[in-house]
Structure 1
Amino acid sequence: MKQPELAIIIPVYNEAENLLRLQQVFEAYFPLAKIPSKVLFVDDGSKDNSLQMIRDICNANPLFTYISFEKNCGLSAAIKAGFDCADTKWVGYIDADLQTTPEDFNILADYCNEYDLVTGVRTGRKDSFVKNASSKIANGIRRSFTHDGMDDTGCPLKIIKADKAKAIPMFNGLHRFLPAMILLQKGKIMQIPVRAFPRVAGKSNFHLWNRLAGPLSDCFAYLWMKRKYINYTIAEKKL
């Protein structure tokens, strides 16, 4: 078995209904992965049986690993903790609801050596009109502030160079600004069409209010961070 070079972060909050399917889908994907991969679950203080199921999955297969929070901290904290704990060259991100498929990491993988972040753009989304419309509005608001050129930063399918991901500062709303934060590091980003599927189990933790109000307020935080962001390149060293 090749040493994993991509740690795929899966934030989990009350996703017990999806975890066995996740295990099966990834066990089928691992032998086909263009980049040798493993999973890093981040349990975000789940109140159902998610954490025990994660323990069982990880005990059964060393390609599944996990960390768990003491209490619920939110999606951005879970993603950032995954970045910080990963020990691979690249980090990936996918949601536990499997509305995108790990098979499409192979599509993104073709661009990983050239770009610092490669993100999916969901095609043929099976979500409700309200969800699709609010997502489109939120992406438009974000683009007007960040000028990142990305059409779907909410797409839960990304690969990022780990050193760039670890350098992203921690803040609520982080998950909406990953491409923009890579651009602040003078990194290169790319978006690629990927497939989208309906949620078949569990319950979404997002609604109309936090899809629209959250992104708008976070944009102002991003502008402040952009003005204050420290970027440097070491020309020489002797340590």
Structure 2
Amino acid sequence: MAYEFTIIVPVYNEEDNLLRVEKELLEYSKIASKKTKILFVNDGSKDNSQTIIETIVERQENFSYISFAENRGLSAAIKAGFDYANSELVGYIDSDLQTAPEDFNLLLEYIGEYDLVTGVRANRKDSFVKNMSSTIANGIRRAFTHDGMDDTGCPLKVIKTEYAKRIPMFKGLHRFLPAMILLQQGKIIQIPVQHFPRIAGQAKFGLWNRLIGPLMDCFAYLWMKKKYINYSVAKQSE
């Protein structure tokens, strides 16, 4: 039976989390509502992450990986996952596991009617500064995109792969995935999911990444919206 759902796990210097990722995603795959495979995307980690990933993939048949030659950023890792996915559905989760894999089943309940289903973190367990900067950044983004989403930074999403592969990714665009689905005339929805504090490893985003960077990315999105090519084929020859 072919895999129906690919979970992308971007990894950058997460050696302390990867065995827990293996355990939790293996447990999720046993209760998943779709036949699921896991794809690690190692974004040029400089610690022992790649060795651990290879060990995991050797012993788990539904785990696989790709590894970048150098660090290229979260958006690049997600795009690579989209490019390599061959299942009908694709999703992703951060390797810090601040969201719960079992909540993918909540999102998958809606993916038939919608083309992207994103989590929105309920009762976030982050610092005041992180929460406040995220709230401000999301407000600015909504003003530019009118996507109606409250938490596009939530690292728990499910997307129909045909839509994901048509997203013209650029650095920072992982925050604009719902808006990019709207550009394709797709339907989106947000669903509350669990959130947990980080218990290992280091956060990869600071104030600049969460606030100033996303503001600059909004202007890139406006350019993309103006230039975006979208078409549907009405008829073709046999």
Please state which band the TM-score falls in when normalised by the shorter chain.
Answer: over 0.9
Q: Which residue pairs with 2:189 in the alignment?
A: 190
Shift of 1:108: 0.4
Matched to 1:226, the amino acid is K
Corresponding pairs, count: 238
Measured on the aligned residues, the alpha-carbon RMSD in Å equals: 0.7
Distance in 1 separating the partners of 2:177 and 2:22: 26
Counting only pairs closer than 5 Å after superposition, residues 53-72 of structure 1 correspond to structure 2 as 53-72=52-71
Q: Which residue pairs with 1:224 in the alignment?
A: 223
Q: Which residue pairs with 2:132 in the alignment?
A: 133
Shift of 1:62: 1.3
Q: Which residue pairs with 1:76 in the alignment?
A: 75
Matched to 2:5, the amino acid is L
Q: Which residue pairs with 1:92 in the alignment?
A: 91
Q: CA offsets, 1:106-160, max 9 Å, x none?
A: 0001001110000000001110000000000000000000000000000000000
Q: CA offsets, 1:26-76, max 9 Å, x none?
A: 111111001111111000000000011101101101111100000000000
Q: Gaps (5+ residues) in structure 1? A: none
TM-score normalized with structure 1 length:
0.98
SS in 1 for 2:129: helix
Distance in 1 separating the partners of 2:18 and 2:124: 22
Counting only pairs closer than 5 Å after superposition, residues 108-147 of structure 1 correspond to structure 2 as 108-147=107-146
Q: Which residue pairs with 1:208 in the alignment?
A: 207
Distance in 1 separating the partners of 2:27 and 2:77: 25
Q: Which residue pairs with 2:43 in the alignment?
A: 44
Counting only pairs closer than 5 Å after superposition, residues 26-41 of structure 1 correspond to structure 2 as 26-41=25-40
Shift of 1:3: 2.7
SS in 2 for 1:183: helix
Shift of 1:164: 0.2
Q: Gaps (5+ residues) in structure 2? A: none
TM-score normalized with structure 2 length:
0.99
SS in 2 for 1:177: helix
Distance in 2 separating the partners of 1:61 and 1:177: 33
Distance in 1 separating the partners of 2:34 and 2:113: 14
Matched to 2:3, the amino acid is P
Shift of 1:209: 1.2
Query: Is 1:152 the counterpart of 2:184 in the alignment?
Result: no
Shift of 1:238: 2.4
SS in 2 for 1:41: strand
SS in 2 for 1:108: helix
Distance in 2 separating the partners of 1:55 and 1:12: 13
Distance in 2 separating the partners of 1:176 and 1:26: 24
Q: CA offsets, 1:79-117, max 9 Å, x none?
A: 001001001000001000000011000000100111000
Distance in 2 separating the partners of 1:26 and 1:170: 26
Ranges of 4+ aligned residues in structure 1 off by more than 6 Å: none
Distance in 2 separating the partners of 1:178 and 1:195: 20
Query: Is 1:165 the counterpart of 2:155 in the alignment?
Result: no
SS in 2 for 1:17: coil
Distance in 2 separating the partners of 1:175 and 1:92: 12
